[in-house]
């Protein structure tokens, strides 16, 4: 399989592919990918903004739903159909990656999973998340993190909290408020996971073969699978203010923010 790409790691080209998993059957917000925000579906905003990253060689939406595929075809968004049976987004993007490789005859080096419910994503965020994997091949996976801005966010189970150890590797992820505020934690940054997750290609496939373990199941946080199997997750600070859409209230908030968003003005 051909190795290609426009970015360089030493003398070697690196092929970096972005995949946005999207499905209509969200338990918290059905039909969320096609929710309208200022005249475009949410997934359309994520795709358009992500495509502006100068580190991505290509970008696709991965979906099991014909309705999303039809929208993509109508709006010239690259799309890969995947199985309906996937429980995790990482399984969906891995299937999409292998299909993309098969059709393009080009091997992926880094696969960037970009969540489809972050319509205010900035291309620079993708670049920030990917760079550690380009610079150090031994880093298997990274996540973005940003500060929690309110007590409401800190206590919101839809926001995945994370605490860090040495060199900004994750110690633990939780949907509960961590670290505890009871004993001096007010001096420790309150951080949330931002769901742009680059994987080294082969580690993504290995990750999906790993068995889910008790902490991942209890917290419903995929990255705990890495920690429970002894792998590190590199965390990268991000100063951009983004908001995931998990409820209708979130959708209304993001719609208001989009009205003033400078990047939106460039493609509206």
140, pLDDT greater than 60: yes
**Residue 168 maps to which CATH number?**
3.90.550.10
In a domain, 14, yes or no: yes
Q: How confident is the model at residue 246 (pLDDT cuts 50, 70, 90)?
A: confident
Which range of residues forms the domain containing residue 20?
Answer: 2-261
In a domain, 195, yes or no: yes
In a domain, 267, yes or no: no
In a domain, 171, yes or no: yes
7, pLDDT greater than 60: no
149, pLDDT greater than 90: no
27, pLDDT greater than 70: no
**pTM of the predicted model as reported, rounded to 2 decimal places:** 0.91
The pairs formed by 124-128 with CB atoms below 8 angstroms and a separation of 24 or more are 124/53, 124/240, 125/194, 125/196, 125/238, 125/240, 125/242, 126/18, 126/50, 126/53, 126/55, 126/56, 126/196, 127/53, 127/54, 127/55, 128/236, 128/238
Q: Mean pLDDT, to the nearest integer, of 172-189?
A: 81
In a domain, 268, yes or no: no
Total count of domains within the chain: 1
For 92-134, what is each residue's pLDDT tens digit? 999 999 999 999 999 999 999 999 999 999 999 999 999 999 9
In a domain, 266, yes or no: no
In a domain, 107, yes or no: yes
What whole-number distance in Å separates Cα of residue 6 and Cα of residue 79? Answer: 22
In a domain, 129, yes or no: yes
11, pLDDT greater than 70: no
Q: How confident is the model at residue 12 (pLDDT cuts 50, 70, 90)?
A: low
């Amino acid at each position: 399989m051909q190795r290609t790409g426009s970015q360089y790691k030493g003398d070697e080209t690196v092929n970096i592919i972005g995949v946005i998993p999207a499905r209509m059957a969200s338990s918290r917000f059905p039909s969320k990918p096609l929710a309208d925000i200022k005249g475009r579906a949410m997934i359309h905003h994520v795709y358009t903004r992500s495509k502006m990253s100068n580190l991505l060689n290509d970008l696709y939406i991965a979906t099991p739903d014909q309705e999303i595929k039809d929208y993509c075809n109508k709006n010239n968004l690259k799309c890969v159909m995947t199985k309906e049976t996937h429980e995790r987004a990482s399984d969906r993007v891995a299937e999409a990656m292998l299909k993309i490789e098969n059709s393009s005859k080009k091997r992926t080096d880094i696969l960037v999973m970009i969540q489809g419910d972050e319509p205010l994503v900035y291309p620079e965020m993708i670049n920030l998340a990917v760079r550690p994997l380009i610079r150090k091949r031994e880093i298997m996976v990274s996540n973005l993190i940003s500060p929690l801005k309110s007590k409401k966010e800190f206590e919101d189970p839809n926001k995945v909290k994370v605490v860090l150890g040495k060199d900004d590797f994750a110690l633990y992820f939780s949907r509960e408020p961590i670290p505890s505020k009871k004993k001096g934690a007010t001096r420790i940054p309150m951080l949330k996971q931002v769901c742009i997750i680059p994987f080294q290609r082969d580690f993504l496939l290995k990750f999906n073969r790993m068995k889910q373990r008790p902490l991942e199941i209890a917290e419903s946080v995929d990255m705990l699978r890495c920690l429970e199997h002894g792998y590190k997750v590199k965390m990268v600070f991000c100063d951009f203010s983004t908001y995931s859409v998990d409820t209708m209230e979130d959708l209304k908030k993001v719609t208001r923010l989009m009205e003033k968003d400078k990047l939106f003005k460039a493609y509206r």
